[in-house]
Chains A and B, each alone.
Chain A
């Protein structure tokens, strides 16, 4: 655990001036702590944590809406006319932003994954083998561009805290 404490100390020095991360997260709600796992008694004893507001934002880079649904008359592929040089891409680009509060500098690990289930009690089961992004977070702000293929039905972000005193933060988006 010594390593952990030194890490925390260091990040205090480094991120003292960290910008508070623009949170124009118009598409998301402020995150609440989500229980997807109970702390286990033989292991770390959970500590009452301060309420922390961490914001997760996932926004499509170039969102477009279909204004009018066009019917296609093509019966075969030979008859298809591709409009406007459409390149038939089957994926979209998203901007992921995570903003933690200025005093929330503890080491954390972020996974953004596509195979998950949300249960009726609000907890999540996440397949951590299905992720699009896996990264440790050292700064209180994090941004990344995520390429998401069109078959993806939703994404979940899971933020785990390495010292085990806080429960993970979970946020998901449905497409």
Chain B
């Protein structure tokens, strides 16, 4: 086939022979305008604009003249890199038309995992493949495949099989007698053409090219080593072999023939171009086909996480004729259509998407058929054969005569008998990917109609975008290590059948919200309310929990007793446990090897039970809960409670009276005491910086009055800020008392909002909490209860070293400056000569500290997460009951500080 083309020569060989410039283009590209406004590059051999018999060929872009005076690279410099070996060539078959069977599964759904995966697919080597297998691909006799084919290993066409697209093989490609490839062939190792085989495009092999008698190749041939041609072969393009070229009698070569080493030319061979032996030219290697198993598996998981939709019962579905409208369907085992039966996909005349998420295998028995009824051209059908049920291979089989439509993504092999059909909707090619295994088509099968076009890309994208947007999946909230996220095959339950749940209900999410921001915090709907740990968990002791359930069902539950971040099989506390509607009390044991501390528990309720901690299920609910495990007989006391925050709020102008907005530093905190035999063995301090309404640099700490520094087991301290373990001990050095420094400067961790002076005190200056801490202080010697300071111990503010703090001090007072709650004594680091300055009226001898002449404090402490005043707003305007609370010494309006008593205009809202 002769074409007049403008060429971009991506690869060229240059020889000069006197005045002639010889360009051998092994693979040229031609740019066409193409319909659908997509520019495709059509492969053809680089034709000549000038031909001189036997001697000179020129190939130049845009018909530019070759300048003989220098070796002019008349090729688009971009194109030289355009086809490097490791990038997708995006070369398409051009011969019948510039068809471009793209396969672009762009799953535009709300879940970002799917989007990322889809984009990866779109950008990958699979973008334009109709068939891909990590194993081999074999087409039986007379089988036709309409689109492009890619195998990470070998591709084999039996006799008379025809591939209308391109073939890319990681290893060998073999065509039987009279087989044909309309596009090009790229093979990592060998290409072998049988008798009378036809290849319309070019052939590029890593090693040998062996062409049988009477074969016809329209494109060029590049072989890494030997090129061997039998008799009566016709080759239109150029031939380049790294070593020998052997040509049988009667063969015809319309282009050049170049052998790196020797040539052996039979009788009556016609070579129109230049025959060169011992050229020592090194042919370029073919395209590298990479294994796409990971990418396909990611896509399959993303499709699976679109939801379980309607469950099709494996043993009954497909036994008789079935009809399904568009939607998401799933099976917990296989999906089969019995021999001779039909599955009608009823589109009702509107664009629709069918996605089948199949846990085990897909099987169409002999003569089983998928029939399309009123299915529009823009519709999409995807068979997602996951094989993720334990022991499942995830294969797809079509018996003889079976016919299906759509695209098959299979974990395992795809195998068809004779006379089968896999086709796309309308002109789509359809096709199949096997992530881990082979694809085999029986004789006389049709995979995508020849001439199929417009792969699945646009139609799938549109159809998925039209899919129901509301989330239908409930996920677990435990941290990602427990496999909560969709991408980790997290525990999930379809909520479409909302009748089986724990507590008051179940809400669906798009993906697992990662603790600490579980969805119960963000959407205000606490669906983690079906489980109550009515007793604590003590190592080695039995325990009880209560489960509230909507309907009789089964529960599987785990507690991560050893705290390793994974729910192990020996950590299962309930296994297919039958539960009744309403309240159920479940006894369980905390094993001897459990670790004391905070960990996670997972509860999965379902209609059948026997679930694993991960993986999706079609009904029921998952609830994840945090639990505290203590040592045997250890009790816990909390201030203000296990789940609430208390608040200490400071005026940091001490010793001067300020504006009483009590928000210069606002800390939320909680204290837990762990006791054994009425002695405290450990305390835990947790908290967060709620607000910094001051420019001063202040630190925050807890003094433990009466507790010696040496009593604390410093090496065993665990201290985290924002969940990051801290390297240094929080215990203040060289002190007698135990003083736990949370931070030396809150401004190290928080920053003011944009256009704001302070952190979370001015209107419109809200941000998320930027600093949280957790400190566990074990004691080397247990402290008898009578010696323990009362809650809330002695939280205090101190000035950061090196910063000015108040005009009351000539030099920056630094650590020696402290503010405590009224009548709490300062620490040993304090400079007592600071007392009495400015407005301070402390009387240490009378036990009065940090109060003004009016008895007003510089710090207040309340038992809730306080909604503090706006900047500069006197607290009395935010909490009008404040003054009568004080006037009556706390006997009236003791709860002056609760949100219900606040003037909402004057409090900060985030």
Selected contact of B889 from candidates A44, A84, A113, CB within 8 Å: A84
Given the interface pairs A72-B886, A130-B644, A149-B863, the reply to whether A160 lies near B535 with Cβ below 8 Å is yes
Pick the interface stretch among A10-18, A22-30, A132-140: A132-140
Chain A residues 63 to 79 lying within 8 A of chain B, measured CB to CB, are 64-66, 69-72, 74-78
Minimum CB distance partner of A147 in chain B = B791
Residues of B within 8 A of A84 (CB): 889
> A47 contacts the other chain (Cβ, under 8 Å)?
no
Given the interface pairs A69-B892, A109-B544, the reply to whether A130 lies near B791 with Cβ below 8 Å is no
Contact with B along A136-150 (1 / 0, CB 8 A): 101000001111011
CB distance from B134 to the nearest CB of A (A): 47
> B854 contacts the other chain (Cβ, under 8 Å)?
yes
Q: Measured between alpha carbons, how far is A6 from B247 in the docked complex, in Å? A: 94
Minimum CB distance partner of A44 in chain B = B587
> B884 contacts the other chain (Cβ, under 8 Å)?
yes
Q: Measured between alpha carbons, how far is A113 from B660 in the docked complex, in Å? A: 34
Q: Is the CB of B636 within 8 A of A38?
A: no
Contact with A along B98-128 (1 / 0, CB 8 A): 0000000000000000000000000000000
Q: Measured between alpha carbons, how far is A136 from B463 in the docked complex, in Å? A: 58
Among B578, B585, B885, the most chain A Cβ lie within 10 Å of the Cβ of B585
Residues of B within 8 A of A80 (CB): 854, 856, 876, 882-883, 886-887
Residues of B within 8 A of A33 (CB): none
Q: Is the CB of A130 within 8 A of B641?
A: yes
Q: Is the CB of B643 within 8 A of A127?
A: yes
Residues of A within 8 A of B892 (CB): 66, 69-70
Among A36, A42, A72, A78, the most chain B Cβ lie within 10 Å of the Cβ of A72
Q: Is the CB of B888 within 8 A of A70?
A: yes
Selected contact of B587 from candidates A43, A113, A149, CB within 8 Å: A43
Contact with B along A84-96 (1 / 0, CB 8 A): 1111111111000
Q: Measured between alpha carbons, how far is A37 from B639 in the docked complex, in Å? A: 28
Pick the interface stretch among B31-39, B490-498, B736-744, B894-902: B894-902
> B864 contacts the other chain (Cβ, under 8 Å)?
yes
> B327 contacts the other chain (Cβ, under 8 Å)?
no
> B262 contacts the other chain (Cβ, under 8 Å)?
no
CB distance from B580 to the nearest CB of A (A): 5
Minimum CB distance partner of A146 in chain B = B637
CB distance from B132 to the nearest CB of A (A): 50
Residues of B within 8 A of A132 (CB): 637-642
Q: Measured between alpha carbons, how far is A57 from B877 in the docked complex, in Å? A: 39
Residues of A within 8 A of B657 (CB): 78
Chain A residues 112 to 131 lying within 8 A of chain B, measured CB to CB, are 113-115, 126-131
> A111 contacts the other chain (Cβ, under 8 Å)?
yes
Minimum CB distance partner of B862 in chain A = A90
Q: Is the CB of B585 within 8 A of A136?
A: no
Number of A-B contacts (CB under 8 A): 212
Q: Is the CB of A149 within 8 A of B862?
A: yes
> A20 contacts the other chain (Cβ, under 8 Å)?
no
Q: Measured between alpha carbons, how far is A93 from B863 in the docked complex, in Å? A: 13
Selected contact of B583 from candidates A40, A93, A145, CB within 8 Å: A40
Q: Is the CB of A42 within 8 A of B579?
A: yes
> B49 contacts the other chain (Cβ, under 8 Å)?
no
Q: Is the CB of B542 within 8 A of A42?
A: no
Q: Is the CB of B641 within 8 A of A88?
A: no
> A9 contacts the other chain (Cβ, under 8 Å)?
no
Given the interface pairs A85-B848, A87-B821, A164-B587, the reply to whether A77 lies near B582 with Cβ below 8 Å is no
Q: Measured between alpha carbons, how far is A76 from B906 in the docked complex, in Å? A: 14
CB distance from A107 to the nearest CB of B (A): 8
Q: Measured between alpha carbons, how far is A4 from B646 in the docked complex, in Å? A: 38
CB distance from B881 to the nearest CB of A (A): 9
CB distance from A8 to the nearest CB of B (A): 12
Minimum CB distance partner of B627 in chain A = A129
Q: Is the CB of B863 within 8 A of A150?
A: yes
Minimum CB distance partner of B894 in chain A = A150
Selected contact of B884 from candidates A70, A133, A147, CB within 8 Å: A70
Chain B residues 623 to 668 lying within 8 A of chain A, measured CB to CB, are 633, 635-644, 646, 657, 660
CB distance from A114 to the nearest CB of B (A): 5
Residues of B within 8 A of A89 (CB): 861, 890
Residues of B within 8 A of A127 (CB): 532, 643
Q: Is the CB of B863 within 8 A of A109?
A: no
Minimum CB distance partner of A153 in chain B = B895
> B875 contacts the other chain (Cβ, under 8 Å)?
yes
Q: Is the CB of A71 within 8 A of B887?
A: yes
CB distance from A112 to the nearest CB of B (A): 9
Given the interface pairs A39-B585, A40-B583, A40-B584, the reply to whether A90 lies near B861 with Cβ below 8 Å is yes
CB distance from A122 to the nearest CB of B (A): 14
Q: Is the CB of B874 within 8 A of A77?
A: yes
Q: Is the CB of A109 within 8 A of B823?
A: no
CB distance from B686 to the nearest CB of A (A): 14
Among B582, B657, B660, B888, the most chain A Cβ lie within 10 Å of the Cβ of B888
Residues of A within 8 A of B636 (CB): 133-135
> A158 contacts the other chain (Cβ, under 8 Å)?
yes
Given the interface pairs A136-B536, A147-B790, the reply to whether A88 lies near B587 with Cβ below 8 Å is no
Q: Is the CB of B536 within 8 A of A71?
A: no
CB distance from B662 to the nearest CB of A (A): 9
CB distance from B877 to the nearest CB of A (A): 8
Q: Is the CB of A83 within 8 A of B887?
A: yes
CB distance from A154 to the nearest CB of B (A): 12
Given the interface pairs A134-B635, A147-B639, A164-B587, the reply to whether A88 lies near B890 with Cβ below 8 Å is yes
> B860 contacts the other chain (Cβ, under 8 Å)?
yes
Q: Is the CB of B534 within 8 A of A168?
A: yes
> B140 contacts the other chain (Cβ, under 8 Å)?
no
Q: Is the CB of B635 within 8 A of A78?
A: no
Residues of B within 8 A of A85 (CB): 823, 848, 851, 855
Among A69, A87, A115, the most chain B Cβ lie within 10 Å of the Cβ of A87
Q: Is the CB of A109 within 8 A of B536?
A: yes
CB distance from B684 to the nearest CB of A (A): 13
Q: Is the CB of B533 within 8 A of A77?
A: no
Contact with A along B576-594 (1 / 0, CB 8 A): 0111101111110000000
Binding site for B on A (CB under 8 A): 3-4, 36-44, 64-66, 69-72, 74-78, 80-93, 109, 111, 113-115, 126-136, 138, 144-147, 149-152, 158, 160, 162, 164, 168
Binding site for A on B (CB under 8 A): 532-536, 538, 540-544, 546, 577-580, 582-587, 633, 635-644, 646, 657, 660, 675, 785, 790-791, 821-823, 848, 851, 854-857, 860-864, 874-876, 882-892, 894-895, 897-898
A sample of 14 more A-B contacts (CB under 8 A), given A43-B587, A147-B639, is: A43-B586, A65-B891, A71-B887, A74-B883, A85-B848, A111-B536, A126-B532, A134-B536, A134-B642, A144-B637, A149-B863, A151-B898, A162-B541, A164-B544
What are 26 of the A-B contact pairs (CB < 8 Å)? A38-B583, A40-B579, A40-B580, A40-B583, A42-B584, A43-B585, A44-B585, A69-B884, A77-B882, A78-B874, A80-B856, A83-B886, A86-B855, A88-B885, A127-B532, A129-B642, A132-B639, A132-B642, A134-B536, A136-B535, A149-B864, A150-B890, A151-B898, A162-B541, A162-B542, A168-B534
